[in-house]
């Protein structure tokens, strides 16, 4: 690894930390425009994080060390997930560790800690949110694995860098297996990031909230870290989807000219993806919590269908 590779990796870290709140702000703006409402400022997520970091953290008396450590673990997992996904270049120092199974494991580890922390203080809302979060994770992770397995079979590798490099060099054709995998990934991404139609990130209604129930008892810097981690998770899923299904623009090894274009190309794709996410949340309605298993089961079947199409037809 050269010094340039480490610089690119450091730029990727800064990009994830800065672009994740901006991406959420952009999605909120697009959704407000589509709903004919006054849009919040683009930097509103930064203002929220700044306000929370300066507030005092109030911790319950019965809380254990797990409750205090969980926000840092969740934030670290989401930041590491954003670092191992090839966003600007495939030739990164963390590329050997950027395995598709490791990516799913990071998301699962973060879910485990935030669910245990929600149950740690024994509130009804925290326990309810933890049960719903684990149910969604139990159903979403197999579908996400089917998507990654389909991409890994096409590239003959489970390394994210190798998958992106292999898919980027293919001819510009729509493979049926990737089309089914793309639909499954979109459904999983909506569920994992607590977006409509699975969850509404702007609600605190008892019968509908999932993610908000997990963080309802947090405040101050702990809540800021969890909110930032949620933004990083949405950014990581968006970058993973762009890397798997729209890999063009990611710089390859020793391609210095492509590095100059990789960042603006990524920002452009994120802008289009954010508008698409806002459009999906505008045209769809929030489904009942009892319909979520059917929604994610459909995503899993689409992932399995993508895998079978590639194995049987090679397409």
- Whether the Cβ atoms of residue 122 and residue 116 lie closer than 8 Å to each other: no
Per-residue pLDDT tens digits for 110-147: 999 999 998 888 888 888 888 888 989 899 999 999 99
Report pLDDT for 209.
76
- Whether the Cβ atoms of residue 287 and residue 198 lie closer than 8 Å to each other: yes
Report pLDDT for 93.
77
**CA 153, 156, 162, 168 torsion: positive or negative?**
negative
Report pLDDT for 213.
80
Q: What is the H or E stretch that residue 215 is in? A: none
Asked whether residue 204 carries a pLDDT value surpassing 70, the answer given is: no
- Whether the Cβ atoms of residue 118 and residue 213 lie closer than 8 Å to each other: yes
Give the C-alpha distances (Å, rounded to integers) separating 194 from 50, 225, 284, 286. 23, 17, 14, 11
Mean pLDDT computed over 81-107? 83
Give the C-alpha distances (Å, rounded to integers) separating 63 from 8, 114, 117, 243. 40, 13, 9, 40
Report pLDDT for 205.
67
Q: How many helices (H) and strands (E) does the chain have?
A: 11, 0
Report pLDDT for 214.
85
CA–CA dist 161, 140 (Å, integer): 23
Asked whether residue 306 carries a pLDDT value surpassing 80, the answer given is: yes
Confidence of residue 260 (pLDDT cuts 50, 70, 90): confident
Report pLDDT for 253.
62
Per-residue pLDDT tens digits for 1-59: 677 777 878 888 898 999 999 999 999 999 999 988 888 899 999 999 999 999 988 88
Report pLDDT for 236.
93
Indicate the average pLDDT of the chain. 87
**CA 5, 243, 278, 292 torsion: positive or negative?**
negative
Report pLDDT for 254.
61
CA–CA dist 8, 88 (Å, integer): 8
Tokens 């994740």 locate to 20
Nearest to 186 by CA among 245, 130, 262: 245
């Amino acid at each position: 690894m050269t010094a340039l590779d480490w610089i690119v990796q450091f730029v990727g870290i800064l990009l994830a930390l800065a672009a994740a709140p901006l991406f959420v702000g952009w999605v909120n703006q697009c959704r407000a425009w589509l709903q004919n409402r006054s849009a919040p400022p683009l930097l509103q997520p930064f203002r929220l994080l700044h306000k929370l970091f300066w507030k005092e953290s109030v911790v319950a008396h019965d809380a254990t060390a797990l409750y205090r450590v969980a926000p840092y673990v969740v934030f670290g997992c989401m930041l590491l997930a954003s670092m191992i996904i090839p966003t600007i270049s495939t030739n990164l120092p963390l590329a050997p560790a950027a395995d598709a199974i490791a990516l799913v494991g990071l998301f699962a580890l973060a879910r485990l800690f935030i669910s245990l922390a929600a149950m740690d203080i024994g509130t009804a809302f925290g326990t309810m949110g933890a049960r719903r979060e684990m149910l969604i994770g139990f159903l979403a992770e197999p579908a996400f694995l089917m998507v990654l397995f389909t991409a890994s079979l096409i590239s003959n590798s489970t390394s994210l860098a190798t998958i992106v490099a292999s898919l980027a060099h293919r001819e510009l054709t729509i493979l049926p297996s990737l089309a089914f995998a793309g639909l499954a990934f979109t459904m999983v991404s909506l569920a994992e990031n607590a977006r409509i139609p699975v969850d509404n990130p702007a609600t605190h209604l008892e019968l509908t909230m999932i993610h908000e129930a997990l963080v309802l008892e947090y405040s101050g810097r702990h809540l800021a870290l969890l909110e930032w981690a949620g933004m990083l998770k949405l950014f990581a899923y968006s970058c993973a989807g762009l890397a798997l299904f729209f890999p063009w623009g990611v710089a390859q090894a020793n391609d210095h000219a492509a590095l100059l274009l990789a960042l603006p190309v990524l920002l452009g794709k994120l802008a289009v993806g954010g508008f698409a996410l806002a459009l999906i949340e505008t045209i769809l309605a929030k489904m009942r919590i009892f319909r979520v298993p059917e929604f994610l089961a459909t995503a899993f079947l689409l992932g399995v269908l993508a895998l079978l199409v590639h194995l049987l037809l090679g397409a």
